[in-house]
Structure 1
Amino acid sequence: MPTMEFQPFADREAGMSHSSGRRGGWITFPFIAAAVFGLMMAGSGWMMNLIVYLIKVFNVKSIDATQIANIVHGGVNLLPIVAAIFADSFFGSFPVVAISSCFSWLGTVLLTLTALINSLRPSPCKNGSSFCQHPSKFQFAVLFIAVSLASIGLAGTRFILATFGANQFDEPQHRDVFFNRFFFILYVSTAISTTAIVYVEDINWGLGFGLCAAASFVGSAIFLLGSRFYRHDKPRGSPYMGLAHVIVAAIQKRNIPLPSKIEDYHHEIGGMDKITAAAPSRSLWFLNRAAIKTRGDIKSDGSIAKPWRLCTVQEVEDLKSLVRIFPLWSSTVFLFTPITIQTNMTVIQALAMDRHLGSKFKIPAGTVIVVSLISNCIFLIIMDWFLLPTWQKMTGRPLTPLRRIGIGHVFSVLSMVVSALVESRRLKIAHAKHLQAQSDAIVPMLVLWLFPQLAIVGIGEAFFFPGQTALYYQEFPVSLRSTATAMVIVVSGIAFYVNTALVDLIRNITRWLPDNINEGRLDNLYWTLAVLGLLNFGYYLVCASIYRYRNVELKVASPASDTSKNLESLT
């Protein structure tokens, strides 16, 4: 991360305006912020309450509903990489966001119709009866199309907007501020939708989903209105083909000895002269052969004659940067997996607990997740205004992305421990009251007991979400900037599918997760996740200890001799 002085938001903006006559800069932020707010409010409004909608309206069993939600969440979090490929390779970020926002609106409109039109949903269960009508194939098909469209819309906007917004700025300091604000707005919008919209949905599903459709439409419209102010990134062709060229070329030249002269390596024409050109790095040295110039590789005009046999040094280094960061990226899969399991299971726990606040108000089960969002928003402000500047004053260096991600690991494990202790208490009360045999029994334990574990998760996310985004945006090749920010959420998508497989495995080999959780041992699942999370944290520490930052962007005013000291301070 670049060295920067942390100041309050108002003070920072004094030097952040874009130059006259140029596109981009902070003038674009209100439009992007409004788009993030509206589109994320729409997406969170239907997705956070999907489990409850499946159980109460479509008569799906509780654990099956969580599994369906896992698949949906996984798709929403994996599809951004597809959107990133289209943005980086073919269309640019703006068209991808614009088209995806249309999908978001269409999906939420169709979802609203499933709640309003009786023929599009099964008949409700009769009171006191365990028999419920299953949805027909047609009803499930309409629901599937609605959720798919809304998922594509959410996936194609959420993190592509992060890349698009960051591309509006030249200075790394400004991008750091943008990422903090982006996540703050994202979590605030999600918190509002998880409370207000979910509350409306519990009263009237049609009205609640209609609000999601309206928010999606308004967010999309404001985003398009800012078009003349944006700096539009141009796709450079598929960067993934260039990475494939490196692998193929290195294999073809595997028997060629590595040269000692810089001139024997191929650099991009016009990109480096003899003074600035450098040989490839020594790490992953076997890939360096892809950049060795041999007879017949280069035409008389200096262009590459055989792209699958010769690459530039920059292309080789780009592939190396991805290979180096992969272990760190893989360690975050199980950072997200316990959190995704906890998110779904917390809704099931809330349905079986006392959710009354006073005699009249009852907290919707899908709303309890908002505690982690509120905790995240509050802690992001604390970090930006107090923690990060204090850290820099005490140590003389910023809190690096790797340290922020590591702290997030610790909070994730701590949250699983607290979750296990709370669930153990809930089960003791259920057994003491002999409620385990009753499928719809409400345990006389306030749902507020679930809040501490969710607050801890929110604090952890305040560390590792911005930390990962900054790390990938900084370390990935410039041509893969959309992919870089998408990789953060792709990990979450993979975690949801790992979640699904893990829950299925546990259901098959244990009796911890029956349909009636009062008969199960959900606390044992949380203890298992805590242990696995601790082991994963050890793996992360090993990966982080051997990683060295590569694309560190510093505005250095001192002589070149001081640059190495600055680089070392960041690692």
Structure 2
Amino acid sequence: MEMESSPGSQLKPVHQEAQERPGRNRGGWITLPFIAGSMLGLGLAINGTTSNLLVYLLKEYNVESIDAAQIANIIRGSLNLVPVAGAVVSDSYFGCFPVILAGTVINILAFVLFTLTAALPSLRPPHCAPPSAVCPHGTPGQLTVLYAAVCLLAIGTGGTRFNVATLGADQFGSAHEQDTFFNWYFVFLYASFIVGDTAIVYLQDGVSWALGFSVCLGTTVASLVMLLLGARYYRMPVPKGSPYTELARVVVAAVRKARVDVAGRRLQYYVGDGTVADSGSDGAPSKRLGFLNRAAVITASDGTAETTGGGHRSSGWRLCTVQQVEDLKSLLGVLPLWSSGILVSVSIGVMIGMVILQGLAMDRSLGPTFKIPAGSITVCSLAAFIAATPVLERAVFPLWCRVTGVLPTPLQRVGLGHVVNVAGMVAAALVERRRLSVMRAHHGADEALGWVTPMSVLWLLIPLAIVGVGEALHFPGNMAFYYQEFPKTLRSTATAMAPLLIAMGFYLSTVFVDVVRRVTAWLPGNINQGRLDNVYWTVAVTATVNFGYFLVCVCLYKSRK
């Protein structure tokens, strides 16, 4: 029986690692091809569709440009928020594999609907020529089918995307192997995003929307097949009930004992299994968030039966174990650090929403015949992530270790990601300033007519690449940190904390853009008439202040280990 190293572990075996089903205990790197194959099929289909959804709304549903960008960001946020619910269901009731399986099937249904919207003209409004002042919008019935597909996609992604990360990490026993897996998890995930942002976007926008969505449907089916082929190799911990109920019990028990006098007394804390610990002993709870310690204090009304192992135990809503208290503390202690990542995701959300509009207003020609699809522009950020990850893993981190004597911790990597992200926002502001200067030089005072600026879209690759390197530091570091710091019963929730950051970023980026539109003239319907560079400068300054907040959180944080 495994013992936790946190307070109380000397006296009580705490949340035992979930028992595994017979025949499901192989695990290890043999599972990676199946997990990676499933992840690649889902990733290219989902990201290829979401990256090009803005263009789909513009061209096929006649939605106004900034509104389409806002809708696309809300949908991206939803695709990263729903995995939190998937993690709760996985941790509490079914485990990772059944939830991933159900999510993949739901994704298949989503792409069936997307394919129908593209293949059947009756499910879309009539085509509108760009110069037309009056463009028909989708009917309620048409929009219902479209948003039903989006909702199914969000629900399916909630069951798959980051539960796959937990399933993969569960195959390994050491923290180093888990850390390495998370790095490569993001490599495979972003590789699928690159294929989606290039091949799928090209098929949808350049050949046929129906064909593009049909390919997404096929790759999702292939993902389901890969997942099932590897089932006999997976290590599948079985959940032991909702861990969230135990956390709620700690809060309730602490509140019920709020009036208990603990000053100057030698207290006894309930450890479990007929064992108690005196205050000041190794088994007593830590002093941080001391109010919660009341939940484990044994009072006269709780009785002393637990010390002898007999009699009736006090209600779990009045007396909790030291380990339950420490689990809640570890969860609450992470939240300030987690919140420091929200503005990083906001900056990325703003850039992703606006960079496609920038691309549509720039020269996208690559050679005499080929034109880069606007929805594929963000692929540079993904490529930079993939290129940076092995360089960091094989060169930068070992060099860091030779200089300092230890590998960089997850939090150190996250901090570097903050700095690189700020640099990316500065680069985005400088590129946009140049774009506006070129546009005005060619169109004079009447810049509103200059919809396509004679400046290559390849300039956008500079800020996107910098942001991609920042993500290679920030997101894997965050996921490894949460996985190591969260209680073992909340591992799926731990891996969902990173996508929750992304979701919050996309949602708040829409709020940020809406506020900018209301209080400034920086974002009109035609970005050639606006000052998008000022938007990026504002984001860069905000991200710099947020980095200071991150450093304060790091200084105050105490690891549960």
* TM-score, scaled to structure 1: 0.90
CA distance in structure 1 between the partners assigned to 2:113 and 2:24 by the alignment: 43
CA distance in structure 1 between the partners assigned to 2:326 and 2:450 by the alignment: 59
Kindly indicate whether the alpha-carbon contact (under 8 Å) linking 2:401 and 2:408 is maintained by their aligned counterparts in 1.
yes
SS of residue paired to 1:289: helix
Kindly indicate whether the alpha-carbon contact (under 8 Å) linking 1:439 and 1:516 is maintained by their aligned counterparts in 2.
no
1:433 to 429, 437, 442: 442
CA distance in structure 1 between the partners assigned to 2:276 and 2:193 by the alignment: 46
Q: Deviations over 1:247-283 (max 9, x none)?
A: 1111111232448899811113289999x96100011
Is 1:343 aligned with 2:352?
Answer: yes
Distance 1:493 1:439, change over 3 A: farther
Aligned equivalent of 1:423 = 432
CA distance in structure 2 between the partners assigned to 1:22 and 1:391 by the alignment: 36
2:82 to 64, 75, 79: 79
Distance 1:272 1:440, change over 3 A: farther
Q: What amino acid is the match of 1:481?
A: R
CA distance in structure 1 between the partners assigned to 2:52 and 2:228 by the alignment: 29
CA distance in structure 2 between the partners assigned to 1:218 and 1:438 by the alignment: 47
Deviation at 1:168? 1.4
Greater CA drift, 145-154 or 248-257: 248-257
Is 1:286 aligned with 2:304?
Answer: no
Q: What amino acid is the match of 2:91?
A: D
Is 1:245 aligned with 2:255?
Answer: no
5+ long unaligned stretches in structure 1:
1-19, 552-571
Aligned equivalent of 2:110 = 107
Aligned equivalent of 2:404 = 395
SS of residue paired to 1:445: strand
Is 1:445 aligned with 2:450?
Answer: no
Distance 1:227 1:439, change over 3 A: farther
CA distance in structure 2 between the partners assigned to 1:146 and 1:255 by the alignment: 53
CA distance in structure 1 between the partners assigned to 2:88 and 2:466 by the alignment: 34
CA distance in structure 2 between the partners assigned to 1:388 and 1:320 by the alignment: 31
CA distance in structure 1 between the partners assigned to 2:495 and 2:437 by the alignment: 44
Aligned equivalent of 1:513 = 523
Kindly indicate whether the alpha-carbon contact (under 8 Å) linking 1:45 and 1:198 is maintained by their aligned counterparts in 2.
yes
1:496 to 506, 531, 549: 506
Deviation at 1:211? 1.0
Q: How does 1:220-239 map to 2 (within 5 A)?
A: 220-239=224-243
Aligned equivalent of 1:297 = 302
Kindly indicate whether the alpha-carbon contact (under 8 Å) linking 1:114 and 1:142 is maintained by their aligned counterparts in 2.
yes
2:332 to 314, 319, 323: 323
CA distance in structure 1 between the partners assigned to 2:252 and 2:43 by the alignment: 41
Q: What amino acid is the match of 1:467?
A: G
Kindly indicate whether the alpha-carbon contact (under 8 Å) linking 2:24 and 2:233 is maintained by their aligned counterparts in 1.
no
Aligned equivalent of 2:8 = none
Aligned equivalent of 1:485 = 495
CA distance in structure 1 between the partners assigned to 2:502 and 2:60 by the alignment: 27
SS of residue paired to 2:454: strand
1:119 to 118, 122, 131: 122
Deviation at 1:322? 1.4
Kindly indicate whether the alpha-carbon contact (under 8 Å) linking 1:267 and 1:277 is maintained by their aligned counterparts in 2.
no
**Residue-pair matches, total:** 532
Aligned equivalent of 2:138 = 135
Deviation at 1:155? 2.5
CA distance in structure 1 between the partners assigned to 2:319 and 2:377 by the alignment: 56
CA distance in structure 2 between the partners assigned to 1:440 and 1:179 by the alignment: 45
Aligned equivalent of 1:40 = 43
- Percent pairwise identity: 48
2:365 to 326, 342, 356: 356
Aligned equivalent of 2:548 = 538
Q: What amino acid is the match of 2:118?
A: A
5+ long unaligned stretches in structure 2:
1-22
Aligned equivalent of 1:555 = none
